[in-house]
Structure 1
Amino acid sequence: MSPDQGTSQDHHDGYEIRRIPLVNIYPLQDMGRATTLQRVRWHIKDHWNSAMQIAFTFELKKIQPDVVLLHNITGFSISIYESLADASVPFFQVLHDHYFICLYSTMYRRKKICDGQCLRCSLLRRRHLKTTQFATGVIGVSNFILNRIKSMGYFSGVPSNVIHNLSDKPPKINLTEDISGVAPKLGCTLGYLGILTESKGILDLLRAFKISAGPSDRLILAGHLDNRLSHLQTAFNTDSRIEYLGVVERDFFFSSIDCLVIPSKVPEAFGLVAQEALFRGIPVLVSNQGGLPEVVAASPSAHVYNARDPDGLTVALQTLLSDHDQWQRSQVISDIYYSALQQDWEKSYEGFLKMYA
């Protein structure tokens, strides 16, 4: 989708990039400012957006691809499946969230996890049940997200595979220089990276930190602050142990913390930031929601707590902060190991596409 609602074409690193405008009530980037009524109208149109189907079909005829790999189709809508099927082009859907079963793609509403589809989501996703069967194949970035969506009848009979996400290789750093002078000698510097919103557990993290942390511990927060939580600026300013950086460069953020905390209440499809931290040798503490436990399962420096337990995060932080060894950095992932992961990732995609395309 075009960020400025225009049509453009350019090249980057040998790839041709084509952008087209979204035909809907408002652009995607305005979703956070939309009224409730506007959002309802937007989602009704996104249920089957014929205008975007026409625009997509026009691009499809110009590009004439041999195979199509779909990731986030929000805005394009499920209508593009029909275009691909009519053109007899094999296409594969990669599942990154709950878009196919939830209007908001999160399965989280009114401060509660949705264990099933509500009536509204069921009605506006009814056509998806049949249309997803047009897909040549479906790939989940975790076992959790693939099983969750297929268990509800979507992509029924469609060949499927799980291919975990793979973050970029972290930069080379000197472990001693990276740690020296960053964290207080007697305390741990916890970090949070992402959107600061209620559904991501930021309020739970602040509450648990104030209960569990000592005078030498610190909490660094980075990312966009949800407009509905602007009052948190007061909490940032009144507690010297808490620092809100806003949007910062990722490597700077990771070099400033001892342990990453992901207190998400949303059932995450994967959790790439957890992998980014582990690749840098940074211990992580994650909630047990969605695919997060899957991401950290093989790491001895990862800790998982029960997000449905009101005291789960507090107890986990108390345990972590009381043991210096639990938040000590290890070495950055080796070039050899990362190359092996990258080769496996590429072979998984290539093998699955070649098998069915």
Structure 2
Amino acid sequence: MKILLLHSLYVPHVGGGAEIVVRQLAEGLQDRGCDVTVLVTGPETGLHEEVHNGVRIYRAGLYNFYWHYTQARANPLLRLGWHYRDRYNRRMRQHVREVIARERPDVVLCNNLTGWSISAWDEISATGIPIVQVLHDLYLLCPKDTMFDKGRSCERQCGLCSAFRQRHAAASAQVAAVIGVSRFILDKVSGHGYFGQASRHLVHNATTASEAAPRQHHSGLLRYGYIGTLSENKGVAWLIRQFQALSINATLEIAGRGKLDYEAQLNAMVDPAKVRLVGYQDAEVFMRNIDVLVVPSLWDEPFGLVAVEACARHLPVIATDMGGLPEIIQDNLNGLICSPNDPDSLGRAMLRLYLDSGLRQHLSRQARASVAPFLNTERMLDQYQSILHATLHGRRAYDEPEFAEHYAPQAEPAGDR
């Protein structure tokens, strides 16, 4: 199979978990004998070819007011103009056309469409090549891809989002198969009338993490940590406020990058005796030096790969009940669940794990086994390969219920705490 994998970004440009998974797919499918090419946006005009870990990469200059992978925040009017052009960016079709002409793929695996817009679907469809669309975010419902506004997750599309996505659901009829990285994201987008002609599949993201012994906490100081994008929808400011209100012998380290103005806001609110912003960190190294991971998302997080990575390393996780996170974290099994609708629930969860060492040890012991299905990257590649092969030959791959059953969260053993 010759596969063209289309996405918004690719290493070294990493904006979130989607880039990690897309790289896993590209390199994993290539290692299995598929001929994989990746097409992504880039900061330089024109089309530039390179090879990374044996995978051929095309970086296409973005035809818009600015390239979206930057720490500087554009002014509101310019951002609005960027999203208006991204409703249907005709000029990006020429990059898709050129790469298809060069590579002649059998199937196109579309991922995040930010920068490409749904014009990519039209260009691919014009060649007769089948399209498989992976849902990593809410781009098809919201230009900002988050459905988050004024400090909270949107319950429905606003007028502007509806206007900017007016013809998108109809255009999705060109897609032969759709894959959701969580049950939440698959149902959320499909529920707005998308992918009526497509076969539907649930394939949770997976990662690899070496086995390690459950955590043994000996000192009185408890170390909480957050790692990820620094942005309002990720709940970082909420986490800082809740933590600093606690009178406990603990520290909080926050790793990651964000827009420069938001980073400045966070730095202005932290008490340096309790909280440290440590910038970009390697996830494995960072998690070795904390006792509890916090994922305080205020928006509907599509999946939450960082929660899987933490559990795989026997870290208890405090997470919100937003989006796909409850498909990973279960209350009192591998972590504690809190809710943005109850702002103090985050502080109570942190305090509970501080006071109850037995609970921390229990969650640590259960953590890795609870996410075992998400640690099987070969299983994930099997599923993608099956869906791509079936789509290419006009057949159905694994049906959705099988995926749901295989990836159902592990129940807590009877009689355990």
Cα deviation per residue 1:11-46 (whole Å; 9 max; x = unaligned)? 122211111111111112248421111111111111
Whether the aligned pair in 2 keeps the contact of 1:2 and 1:19 (CA below 8 Å) is yes
Instruction: Report the counterpart of residue 236 of structure 2 in structure 1.
Output: 202
Instruction: Report the counterpart of residue 209 of structure 2 in structure 1.
Output: 170
Mapping of residues 255-274 of structure 1, within 5 Å? 255-274=288-307
Whether the aligned pair in 2 keeps the contact of 1:219 and 1:242 (CA below 8 Å) is yes
The partner residue of 2:75 within 27, 35, 43 is: 35
Secondary structure of the residue aligned to 2:336 is: strand
The partner residue of 1:295 within 328, 331, 350 is: 328
Amino acid at match of 2:325: L
Whether the aligned pair in 1 keeps the contact of 2:111 and 2:135 (CA below 8 Å) is yes
CA distance in structure 2 between the partners assigned to 1:266 and 1:218 by the alignment: 25
Compute the RMSD of aligned alpha carbons.
2.3
Instruction: Report the counterpart of residue 131 of structure 1 in structure 2.
Output: 171
Whether the aligned pair in 1 keeps the contact of 2:223 and 2:290 (CA below 8 Å) is yes
Amino acid at match of 2:381: E
Gaps of at least 5 residues in structure 1 are: none
Instruction: Report the counterpart of residue 88 of structure 1 in structure 2.
Output: 128
CA distance in structure 2 between the partners assigned to 1:331 and 1:147 by the alignment: 29
Whether the aligned pair in 2 keeps the contact of 1:301 and 1:326 (CA below 8 Å) is no
Instruction: Report the counterpart of residue 308 of structure 1 in structure 2.
Output: 341
Residue 232 to residue 74, structure 1, CA distance change in 2 (3 Å)? closer
The partner residue of 1:341 within 356, 361, 376 is: 376
CA distance in structure 2 between the partners assigned to 1:247 and 1:142 by the alignment: 26
Give the CA deviation at 1:288: 0.4
Whether the aligned pair in 2 keeps the contact of 1:223 and 1:245 (CA below 8 Å) is yes
Residue 129 to residue 230, structure 1, CA distance change in 2 (3 Å)? same
Q: Which moved more, 1:311-320 or 1:158-167?
A: 311-320
Give the CA deviation at 1:6: 4.8
Instruction: Report the counterpart of residue 67 of structure 1 in structure 2.
Output: 107
Whether the aligned pair in 1 keeps the contact of 2:234 and 2:297 (CA below 8 Å) is yes
When the two structures are aligned, how many residues end up with a matched partner? Answer: 347
Percent identity over the alignment is 31
Instruction: Report the counterpart of residue 88 of structure 2 in structure 1.
Output: 48
Secondary structure of the residue aligned to 1:29 is: coil
Gaps of at least 5 residues in structure 2 are: 1-40, 393-417
CA distance in structure 2 between the partners assigned to 1:118 and 1:331 by the alignment: 41
Q: Runs of 4+ in structure 1 displaced over 6 angstroms?
A: none
CA distance in structure 2 between the partners assigned to 1:97 and 1:221 by the alignment: 23
CA distance in structure 1 between the partners assigned to 2:225 and 2:309 by the alignment: 13
Q: Which moved more, 1:321-330 or 1:294-303?
A: 294-303
Instruction: Report the counterpart of residue 142 of structure 2 in structure 1.
Output: 102
Amino acid at match of 1:354: H
Whether the aligned pair in 2 keeps the contact of 1:141 and 1:163 (CA below 8 Å) is yes
Amino acid at match of 2:387: F
Give the CA deviation at 1:135: 0.3
Secondary structure of the residue aligned to 2:252 is: strand
CA distance in structure 1 between the partners assigned to 2:107 and 2:82 by the alignment: 29
Residue 93 to residue 317, structure 1, CA distance change in 2 (3 Å)? same
1:15 pairs with 2:55: yes
Cα deviation per residue 1:322-350 (whole Å; 9 max; x = unaligned)? 1113334449959xx67982332122212
Instruction: Report the counterpart of residue 117 of structure 2 in structure 1.
Output: 77
Whether the aligned pair in 1 keeps the contact of 2:204 and 2:374 (CA below 8 Å) is no
Cα deviation per residue 1:73-125 (whole Å; 9 max; x = unaligned)? 11111001111111110110100000000010001012121111111110110
1:230 pairs with 2:264: yes
Residue 223 to residue 31, structure 1, CA distance change in 2 (3 Å)? closer
Residue 341 to residue 171, structure 1, CA distance change in 2 (3 Å)? closer
CA distance in structure 1 between the partners assigned to 2:222 and 2:325 by the alignment: 23
Cα deviation per residue 1:302-326 (whole Å; 9 max; x = unaligned)? 2211221122212222222211133
CA distance in structure 1 between the partners assigned to 2:98 and 2:332 by the alignment: 46
